[in-house]
């Protein structure tokens, strides 16, 4: 951990107990500190694993299979 890292700010941020000024200070620090960024990322990932699911099963689908062949194109209209 770098010398400028503050564990109390990190803990407060992760438990949502910082006031706005301290949150901004911490987020400014996280922008330049890869260690703190990793801590926040890993804590968020463990708290909300469903947002970080792997898309290991990917299927390649052609435009024709999706119904996007050249013979049939819908016009797009802009609505104001």
pLDDT tens digits along 16-58? 999 999 999 999 999 999 999 999 999 988 887 777 776 666 6
Say if residue 25 is exposed, middle or buried (CB neighbours under 10 Å; 0-12, 13-18, 19+). middle
Is residue 37 domain-resident?
Answer: yes
Over residues 47-60, the pLDDT tens digits come to: 877 777 766 666 77
Q: Which tokens go with 68?
A: 């996007």
Is residue 77 domain-resident?
Answer: no
Is residue 61 domain-resident?
Answer: no
Q: How far apart are CA 79 and CA 37, in angstroms?
A: 41
* Total count of domains within the chain: 1
Is residue 18 domain-resident?
Answer: yes
């Amino acid at each position: 951990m770098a010398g400028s890292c503050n564990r109390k700010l990190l803990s407060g941020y992760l438990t949502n107990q910082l006031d706005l000024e301290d949150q901004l200070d911490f987020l400014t620090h996280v922008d330049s500190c890869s260690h703190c960024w990793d801590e926040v990322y890993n804590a968020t990932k463990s708290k909300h694993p469903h947002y970080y699911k792997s898309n290991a099963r990917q299927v390649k689908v052609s435009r024709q299979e999706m119904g996007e062949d050249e013979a049939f194109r819908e016009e797009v209209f802009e609505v104001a």
